[in-house]
Amino acid sequence: MKELKLLKGNEAIAEGAIRAGADAYFGYPITPQSEVMEYLMAERPEQRTGMIVLQAESEVAAINMLYGAAGTGKKALTSSSSPGISLMQEGLSYIAGAELPCLIVNVARGGPGLGTIQPSQADYFQATKGGGHGDYRLITIAPASVQEMFDFVALGFELAFKYRNPVMILSDGLIGQMMEKVELSEQKPRATEFDQSWATTGTPANREQNVITSLDLDAGQQEVHNKKLQAKYKKIVENEVRYEEFQTEDADYLFVAYGSSSRICQKAMELARNKGHKVGLLRLISLYPFPKDIVRELSFRVKSILCVEQSAGQMIEDVRLAAGCEIQIEHFGRMGGMIPIPEEVLEALEQKLIGE
């Protein structure tokens, strides 16, 4: 029997974490994602699965608690929203450097600064280009539904442990706050099947000490480590690209979008097709690795591309880099927490691409 539940996106993250067999959650309240910790605290996961939940004194503390927990080989996560994710960048850089598997959820809101508590996609650069200092990448996946908020927690842990790399779920206040029906999966065990011989557990007599660190004072050694990281990222790029195509087969025009914008584009595409415009949608799921090849392939097939983002245009830079030809690529977006409606997207399509 299917287990169905009506959940908010943020609650789906929390329930998804419990059912994915997470060992620990550390967080600090911030709108629009506070329901993650509220739901967890109310659910008593320490009784359901033994998972621990701790309210930290700041996002700085939360990300470093995550570092400690992940360094013991446990499945741990944190969640926050844009200003809090900014505070976590130091810790994220250390986590990436030390190659710790863990999950970070950003239910993004408008910025810069304290900005607004309304949804935004303006953290794309921060999430996909490293965010903190040094050469590193987070595997970044973008859910577009409450179901995916739930499912991507388990997916995120799997990718994190497979590559010993932090994974970010880049969502926004729209998906975090909206309610949809979710099909819940079965409870997974808290243990992972992945190799954990590197974790700090206390040193038994039969192995050498394990050390979790991102430090190498020797430049040559540090470069060796950098090369190892880059080789890992190359593997991720080769194996973990994820996207969805909607009606691209006959498309003259293409929307490229991710997360909540891709949902809006689906509706706009319907409106456009009703008017006779052959529009398709490329919905990106993995933002890092960026689905380069499909963008390139489609750029040869369509007349022009409209990138729809709730930002001044960030993803569009990667689309332009990936497109293989001198095709017209335009941006449409709202900022500051304003959510575009499908009619606006249709209008942008008609004005910018079709020329009506």
Partner 1 sequence: MDIKDIIKPENLVYKKTSLMQDKALSYCPGCGHGTAHRLLMEVIDELGIREDTIGVAPVGCSVLAYDFMDIDMQGAAHGRAPAVATGIKRCWEDKYVFTYQGDGDLAAIGTAETIHACNRGENITIIFINNGIYGMTGGQMAPTTLDGMRTSTSPYGRELGSMGHPIKMTELIAQLPGVHYVARHSVHTPRAVRRTKKAMFKAFEVQKERKGLSFIEIVSNCNSGWKMTPVKSNEWMEENMFLYFEPGDIKVDGKLVEKKKIK
Catalog residues that contact partner 1 under the rule CB under 8 A.
23-24, 26, 52, 54, 56-58, 60-62, 64-72, 74, 76, 90-91, 94, 98, 200-205, 209-215, 217
Of the pair 91, 111, the CB lying nearest partner 1 is at 91
Backbone φ and ψ of 54, nearest 5°? -135, 130
Strands 52-55, 24-27: pairing is parallel
- What is the smallest separation between the CB atom of 85 and partner 1, expressed in angstroms? 16
Contact 56, 96 (CB under 8 A): no
Contact residues for 132 (Cβ-Cβ < 8 A; gap 6+) = 89, 90, 91, 92, 93, 96
Q: Residue 92: how many CB atoms within 10 A of its CB?
A: 25
- What is the smallest separation between the CB atom of 39 and partner 1, expressed in angstroms? 19
- What is the smallest separation between the CB atom of 74 and partner 1, expressed in angstroms? 5
The CA–CA distances, whole Å, from 219 to 80, 226, 227 equal 34, 10, 12
How large is the greatest C-alpha to C-alpha distance in the chain, in angstroms? 75
Measured over the CA atoms of residue 29, residue 35, residue 36 and residue 37, the dihedral's sign is: positive
Of the pair 201, 239, the CB lying nearest partner 1 is at 201
Of the pair 201, 230, the CB lying nearest partner 1 is at 201
204 token code pair: 């038994």
- What is the smallest separation between the CB atom of 94 and partner 1, expressed in angstroms? 5
- What is the smallest separation between the CB atom of 214 and partner 1, expressed in angstroms? 7
Of the pair 92, 175, the CB lying nearest partner 1 is at 92
Of the pair 78, 118, the CB lying nearest partner 1 is at 78
- What is the smallest separation between the CB atom of 222 and partner 1, expressed in angstroms? 14
Of the pair 56, 149, the CB lying nearest partner 1 is at 56
Give bridge partners of residue 26 from the DSSP assignment.
Answer: 54, 78
- What is the smallest separation between the CB atom of 312 and partner 1, expressed in angstroms? 31
Torsion of CA 217, 221, 226, 229, to 10 degrees: -110
Residues 141 and 161: their CA atoms lie apart, in Å, by 15
The CA–CA distances, whole Å, from 328 to 265, 306, 352 equal 18, 9, 9
Of the pair 58, 239, the CB lying nearest partner 1 is at 58
- What is the smallest separation between the CB atom of 84 and partner 1, expressed in angstroms? 15
- What is the smallest separation between the CB atom of 283 and partner 1, expressed in angstroms? 35
Measured over the CA atoms of residue 112, residue 114, residue 116 and residue 121, the dihedral's sign is: positive
Of the pair 29, 336, the CB lying nearest partner 1 is at 29
The CA–CA distances, whole Å, from 153 to 30, 140, 142, 159 equal 20, 12, 11, 10
Of the pair 4, 224, the CB lying nearest partner 1 is at 224
Strands 139-141, 76-80: pairing is unpaired
305 token code pair: 């591309």
